[in-house]
Structure formats: structure tokens, C-alpha cells
């Protein structure tokens, strides 16, 4: 089964003798049928001579049943930021972070979102890990252009940590005030902390919160402004049919120059209060693979099979130090990054790096599929683009 009706397209799944496929369109495209796997739920294209078309009804199995479903997760390539879109069976959507480059106020991210989620659709929940602009630049546009039922966010912004309020924060706060139909869960305004283990279900998918803070706890001493803003991050885990993905926001686990044994702030809280919840199949690594996240104590509890770094041409993310730490748990072919070929010099991980290259925006979007048969797949949606 291929990703497109072409022999040159990516192979999505191996089809075996006796497998049943659902025909999605009776017409052929380039001599290929558009099908869905009965067991895996995978959609794709198979060449006409490789299958036999059988008419009639399929008894006892519904194409949309819980036994034949796929959860799709898309980690957008938004440069040095994060935006994750989750599509559940029945076209139900969850958004985790809505970041983008600041120069266009999130409009390029919005265009990518609309490629995946039709404009005007209902979004069940948008979780914004924290209020840095590279995680919320498109949040106002999403609330404006979609029917967002609920937004959960820290509400703790730069001026509260001795900095300057960002335009992204002002825009988001204004539209939430103007849209009473969107439930606004602002942890800072509520003087609230998320209790690890709080969870909800949509179909067979379970979403569990591991932490989230309306402001840095009093016992977190010695944090600088950036560490305070990052440290309050809402960390969330999604589980489906035996696999899981951990969304780490910009969680802080150490100061940049701390010894590897250090453990502070967000990751210390999770290690001490949510250790049983941490093991995950896939992780979107905290803080884009920076040195001040992914402490060994945290990573050794998560033990991911696959790792994703959402990064761009800024800050030398992901760092060699962080990538090598995850390699202790996974293979090099199971680490993905949204800035392939990027070269920022010493400190940035060398995997996929090309000398003198500045990675383009939106050429390394990553797709994850969690399947009802307990398997999963991670792949790049497009070939890597040229250097800028």
C-alpha cells in the first residue's frame, strides 16, 4: 500500500495474501485503487493487479468501529516553535501548542493547520503548554477561525517574570475574552496547579495531564526569567491501543551548565509526583532538545522508543548532548527532527546536518499514526527541501 497512486511513492504498509481492504472509491487513479486496510485502518493506494475486487456487504465489521481506527498526530514544521495536531476517529481534533515565527503573527502556522483541519471545524480542546510566543503565536487565529470548545493554558506570561508582555499573549487574551463560547481555563487567573493524573477520554484515546502551573511554585528557587516561563509548562500524555505519546512543552529539568545528575523544576516535579505516568512510546522532547530539558532522571523514566525534536534555525536545537541521551533508549533511525539539514555550528546535533545549510520552514512536518492493532508509524510527510 502506497501513500499516493504512484510506484515512486512511499510504501505505507505491506499487504499480504488474504488481507481485506475497503474500497474507498470505485474509480481508479493511475491504475491504483484508493483503499483502507480492514485491520490496520491505514489508508493508501494499491495497484489494481495486486488485488481482487469483491462486491457485497462486509458483515459484523464497521469501517468506523473501534476495532478499525487510527489516531493521526501531526507535528508541524513551524521553525523554532511547536504545534501538534491530533485527529481522532470521528474527525475530533485536539491541538497542543500553536507556535510559529513571530514575524507573521502565526499566519504561516494557520495555513498549515487548515491543510489538516478544515476551517470552521470543532476543536475539542487546545492545550497551550506555556505563554512563550513560539508556542502560542497562532493560538488567537485558531480560536478565531475554529469552534474551539476549551482552551487550557498557564496564563503565566513574560511581564509576570520581569519581562515584557508579547503581542501573541495580548491577542490570545483579547479573543478569549471576546469569545465566551470558548471555555477559558487560565491556570494563573485561577491560581491553580494541575494535579498529575487528571485525565479525560475521547473514544478509546485517553489524555492524561502530568503537570501544569499557574506560576512557578515557591520552592523553585534560582530560576531565571526564561526558566520560570518554560518551567510552568503543561505536560500531557495521550494513549491509544497500547501506544502513547508524551508532549513535553518546554519543561525544565536542569540549568544549561548543570552536571548531568541535576534535577530541578518541572521534570523534578514529574519524577517525584508522576513517575508511573511517564513511560511513553513516543516523546516530543521538552524545549526542542535544549540542554535545560530532558534530564537523565526524567528520560530514564520515560524510556521512549521514538523521539521527535521540534526545532528550527535558532538556538542550536536539538543539542548533541540531548540527542545522545535519548540514543541510550532508542535507535538513531527512531529520532526525528523538524529541521533536517540545519547547520548552526558547534553544539547542534550533527544527524542530518549539512554544512552551511539554513533549514527551510515547513519542509519537515512529521506524521504519527497510532493504529488499533497496537502498531504505530512515524514518517516525514514530504521530502526534505533545499537549503535557504
Q: What would the 3-class secondary structure string for 192-245 be?
A: CECCCCCEEEECCEEEEEEECECCCCCCCCCCCHHHHHHHCCCEEEEEECCEEE
What is the distance between the alpha carbons of residues 109 and 230, in angstroms, rounded to a whole number?
A: 21
Contact present, 137 and 111 (Cβ < 8 Å): no
283-329 tens-digit pLDDT: 999 999 999 999 999 999 999 999 999 999 999 999 999 999 999 99
pLDDT of residue 62: 35
Mean pLDDT, residues 131-146: 97
Tens digit of pLDDT for each residue in 94-125? 999 999 876 778 899 999 999 999 999 999 99
3-state SS assignment for residue 275: helix
**pLDDT at 336 exceeding the cut of 60:** yes
pLDDT of residue 102: 67
Q: What is the pLDDT of residue 8?
A: 85
Q: Residue 211 and residue 233: Cα distance in Å, rounded?
A: 7
Sign of CA dihedral 137, 142, 145, 149: negative
189 Cβ neighbours under 8 A, 6+ residues apart: 155, 214
pLDDT at 24 > cutoff 90: no
- The pLDDT score that the predictor gives to residue 146 is 98
Q: Is pLDDT above 70 for 15? A: yes
pLDDT (tens digit per residue) in 3-14:
889 888 877 777
Domains of the chain: 1-63 (2.30.30), 70-380 (3.60.15.10)
Q: What is the pLDDT of residues 63-81, one digit of tens each?
A: 334 445 899 999 999 999 9
pTM: 0.84
For residues 309 and 276, is the Cβ–Cβ distance under 8 A? Answer: no
Tens digits of residue pLDDT in 203-261: 999 999 999 999 999 999 999 999 999 999 999 999 999 999 999 999 999 999 999 99
pLDDT given at position 60: 35
Residues 270-279 pLDDT 10s: 999 999 999 9
Mean pLDDT computed over every residue of the chain:
92
Give the single-character DSSP code of 151.
E
Which pLDDT value is given to residue 7? 86
Percent above pLDDT 70 for the chain: 94
Please report which helix (H) or strand (E) contains residue 321, including its range: helix 320-326
Please give the pLDDT value at position 3: 85
Q: Residue 55 has which C-alpha cell?
A: 462486491
> Cell 540542554 maps to which residue?
291
Q: What is the pLDDT of residue 39?
A: 57
Average pLDDT over residues 5-27: 80
Q: What is the mean pLDDT of residues 327-337?
A: 93
Amino acid at each position: 500500500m502506497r501513500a499516493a497512486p504512484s510506484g515512486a511513492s512511499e510504501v505505507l504498509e505491506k499487504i499480504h495474501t488474504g488481507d481485506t481492504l475497503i474500497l474507498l472509491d470505485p474509480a481508479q487513479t493511475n491504475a491504483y485503487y484508493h483503499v483502507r486496510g480492514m485491520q490496520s485502518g491505514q489508508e493508501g493506494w494499491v495497484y489494481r493487479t495486486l488485488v481482487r475486487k469483491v462486491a457485497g456487504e462486509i458483515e459484523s465489521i464497521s469501517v468506523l468501529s473501534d476495532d478499525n481506527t487510527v489516531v493521526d498526530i501531526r507535528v508541524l514544521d513551524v521553525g523554532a516553535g511547536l504545534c501538534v495536531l491530533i485527529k481522532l476517529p470521528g474527525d475530533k481534533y485536539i491541538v497542543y501548542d500553536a507556535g510559529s515565527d513571530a514575524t507573521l503573527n502565526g499566519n504561516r502556522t494557520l495555513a498549515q493547520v487548515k491543510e489538516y483541519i478544515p476551517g470552521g471545524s470543532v476543536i475539542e480542546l487546545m492545550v497551550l503548554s506555556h505563554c512563550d510566543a513560539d508556542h502560542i503565536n497562532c493560538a488567537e487565529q485558531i480560536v478565531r477561525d475554529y469552534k474551539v470548545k476549551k482552551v487550557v493554558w498557564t496564563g503565566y506570561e513574560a511581564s509576570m517574570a520581569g519581562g515584557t508582555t508579547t503581542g501573541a499573549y495580548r491577542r490570545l487574551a483579547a479573543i478569549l475574552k471576546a469569545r465566551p463560547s470558548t471555555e477559558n481555563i487560565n491556570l494563573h487567573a485561577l491560581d491553580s496547579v494541575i494535579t498529575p493524573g487528571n485525565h479525560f477520554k475521547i473514544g478509546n484515546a485517553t489524555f492524561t495531564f502530568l503537570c501544569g502551573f499557574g506560576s512557578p511554585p515557591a520552592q523553585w528557587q534560582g530560576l531565571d526569567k526564561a526558566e520560570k516561563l518554560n518551567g510552568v509548562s503543561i505536560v500531557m500524555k495521550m494513549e491509544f491501543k497500547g501506544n502513547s505519546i508524551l508532549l513535553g512543552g518546554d519543561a525544565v529539568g536542569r540549568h544549561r551548565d548543570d552536571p548531568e545528575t541535576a534535577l530541578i523544576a518541572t521534570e523534578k516535579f514529574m519524577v517525584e509526583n508522576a513517575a508511573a505516568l511517564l513511560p511513553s512510546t513516543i516523546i516530543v522532547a521538552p524545549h526542542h532538545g535544549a540542554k535545560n530539558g530532558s534530564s537523565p532522571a526524567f528520560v530514564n523514566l520515560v524510556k521512549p522508543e521514538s523521539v521527535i525534536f521540534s526545532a528550527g534555525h535558532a538556538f542550536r536545537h536539538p543539542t548533541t548532548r540531548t540527542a545522545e541521551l535519548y540514543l541510550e533508549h532508542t535507535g538513531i533511525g527512531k529520532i526525528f527532527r523538524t529541521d533536517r539539514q540545519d547547520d548552526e555550528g558547534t553544539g547542534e546535533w550533527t544527524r542530518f546536518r549539512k554544512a552551511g545549510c539554513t533549514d527551510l520552514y515547513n519542509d519537515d512536518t512529521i506524521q504519527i499514526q497510532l493504529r488499533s492493532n497496537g502498531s504505530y508509524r512515524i514518517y516525514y510527510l514530504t521530502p526534505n527541501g533545499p537549503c535557504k
